[in-house]
Structure 1
Amino acid sequence: EQGLRMKKLLVKAIVGLVYRNCITTPEDFTMVEFIIKHCGYEGPPNAQKYEISDLHDTCKSSLILMCNTVTSIRSQLRNLLLTALTVDEFTGSMATVSHCLTSLLQNNSDVIAGEPTEKELELKCSPDLVFVRCLTHIVDPDEQDRNKNLLVFLEEYSGDVHNNLKNSWTVEIQRLLKFVDKSESKEQWHGMLLDVLVSAIEQVNSNKWVEIIATLLSQQVLSKKQSP
């Protein structure tokens, strides 16, 4: 319990630093990674469930608050969160990360004075990998919260994956969202996800893109099989 309370205090301290504009360098942002990681922290076996839940809530609310209010580091947060979606270490936090990213993408129209434009920022994260990671982590129909957040994020992010997907994915993903809370069987749910993938392949209409996605999917499936 002492360790969990210390983690909560650290989270609050990091948020304080963010609001005082003390988080600026890539090294500083490892502190924000600490918050991201602990959104899905499992804790030691002897930890009280309510303590773990309290830590999760603190991390989630802190991250959401930062994304909604700290405009000066919006681009850095977006890159950090996109990268987090592609890293196994942060898989447990995907629901919160995707929720925050949706918020950031929806507010992207606000131009922040002095903030680097997207073109000036180095693109550190492959949109194709983000897409594949999301797709392979909405396969469990029982993970309703994560599925919903990842789907809503993918709808916002579709144009980044490929321009041709923007309109078609709105329809496809809205259809999936209607079934998220309906406890579909795995077979039905997987069938609908496959439809999204097939639709994407048809819309993009590029053999090279299909090869990239197929390779990434294979890597993700292999990685999931090897994980404990």
Structure 2
Amino acid sequence: MPDPSLRTTKPESLLAEACTRLPLFEDLTEDTIQRLSASGYGRGFLTASLRARLRKAGFRDLGHLAQSTPDEIAKVRKFGPVRVEAVRAFLLDTIARALPGARERQTRDAIAERRLARLRDLPADRLTLHRDEIVALGLQGATCADLAQRSRLELLRTGMLTSSDLDRLVADLAQVLGEGREVCQRAAPDLAERPDTEARRAQASRAALLAEQDREWEAAAPARIGHRADLA
């Protein structure tokens, strides 16, 4: 029998869509974020060319990635769902080495379950639904969680909502779930093409230092078969 958490966070649910617009991880301590950031991109993280693409897109280090959303990461050239999950898995392993209980608490399903629990405390009319839509969808007295667990296809088949309506509802869910939570802003991409400032020069210098560290680790690391080749 499937795990209950998988049933409530199935890929086609509105909650799953909303989660792609929310950070990979939640409730990480400041100390954990600082540790991740201090390591740059760490050892054995993807390939040098993929790390360079992430830096060019404005992702500074592992701490920054941990606070970024799957959608943001997937927009980087040559990244997509598979590589986003590779990023998530690497970060989870790194976090779990320093944070007891993280391997259970910070999985994608565990985070989705906590988000779903928060939605259970919010009435469905918190979302941008008209009264007749709430009635037609059988959501009178329901919570945001009741809607979030339904699939886009199921809701489209009711004839009450369009794809644009559902896009809006997914955005609503992401906004509600993200309220009061710190958002990490990406650095401006292609800094070298912008006018120099002291801050940008310092950031570019740090990026160059981390890139050099990556190259040294890449050269020193033994060749690995399979996993790294798949992510090259």
TM class, shorter-chain normalised?
under 0.3
TM-score, normalization by structure 1: 0.25
TM-score, normalization by structure 2: 0.25
Answer with 1 or 2: which has the greater Rg.
2
Larger helix share, 1 or 2: 1
